[in-house]
A = this chain, B = another copy of it.
Amino acid sequence: MSHNTFGHLFRFTTWGESHGPALGCVVDGCPSGLSLSESDIQPWLDKRRPGQSRHVTQRREPDQVRILSGVFEDERTGGPVTTGAPISLMIENVDQRSKDYSDIRDKWRPGHADFTYDAKYGVRDYRGGGRSSARETAARVAAGAIARKVLGDGIQIRGALVQVGPRRIDPARWDWDAVHQNDFFCPDAETAEAWAEDMDAIRKAGSSVGGLIEVVVSGIPAGWGAPVYGKLDADLASAMMSINAAKAVEIGSGLNAAALRGEDAADEMALDDTGQPRFTSNHNGGVLGGISTGQDLVMRVAIKPTSSIRIDRQTLTKDLQPTTVSTKGRHDPCVAIRGVPVAEAMAALVLADHKLRAAALKA
């Protein structure tokens, strides 16, 4: 029942603040015998790393991960493999300019967790948001890399940004290759160009904007997940909603399901070329009754605009004095962009857990 642990059988616990000496996580429940070294994790962290385009924060964090436990030389290959012991991962914080934050020490920034942390804990590490900083998500991405190892190569987890502000991609132009060819993880090259212009204006105005992330998972067999309170989609909803700034989660047709009629929403079944069952549509996003159908899992998470903006907003000091606040630090004008690898990681973490949970019932 930890507030900083996610998962049941495959689980991870994160720790660390934005401006502390380091952050990290402990991954527990990982099966033994999986080849694992830092080089399996680093590429995913690099994908999330700040400073990779003008559209994201210019903070410079190398985000180098170090494995402190849980791997050992395999007696056959000599290479490092997981031993079944907990895997401790650590990332040192390097580019912390704590002096930037003295101004907000005593103010509650609108949209941030300043007021609520003070209400709950009575003490708050105000430097860069402390524990509530999106910097915590680096630990999720690192853990997610291990989750991908557990899932194996047969399962593909891919995320994309499908909306920035009011502008949404055209699904007809969806191209997974495009995702790696622009600064937005955008699967629609044309829309990516429009976003670049939108973002320049927003950044110049000192403002920020929200976005919508879609994650698609291929290769999950039918039968993962569980009924009632162990539903795969309920766990994915919790995982996605736990991402900083998330405000909505959709599975399959999502919100649009409310508008449909039964005959249109039904995912009919037929036989594929090999005589195996297939669905002729995927309104349910790959889950029925909380259990995977074998189709692609499809989910979306809406991210609100970054709360740190250069535009003055009205607020209060901790002494209840009205004041205004704006944020001078280096922030993402659209935190949803770097949220894509985080959402992918959370999907991987949920699914690795459910892979183990499904295996348990085959005992």
Contact = CB atoms under 8 A, between A and B. Distances in A.
B289 A304 contact: no
A111 B261 contact: no
Contacts of A239: 234
Interface stretch (A49-57, A170-178, A309-317): A309-317
Interface stretch (A38-46, A182-190, A267-275): A267-275
Interface string A10-31: 0101111100111110101101
A68 B15 CA distance: 9
Given A241-B231, A258-B212, A311-B263, A121 B83 contact: yes
Nearest to A267: B110
Given A257-B305, A288-B115, A305-B262, A14 B336 contact: no
- List the number of copies, as a whole number: 4
A271 to B, nearest CB: 6
Contact of A5 (B110, B121, B229): B229
29 contacts: A15-B88, A16-B88, A20-B69, A22-B88, A24-B88, A32-B121, A33-B123, A83-B131, A108-B277, A115-B288, A116-B287, A119-B291, A202-B261, A207-B262, A210-B258, A210-B259, A211-B258, A228-B242, A231-B241, A237-B238, A237-B241, A238-B241, A247-B258, A250-B255, A253-B304, A255-B255, A260-B304, A265-B307, A266-B309
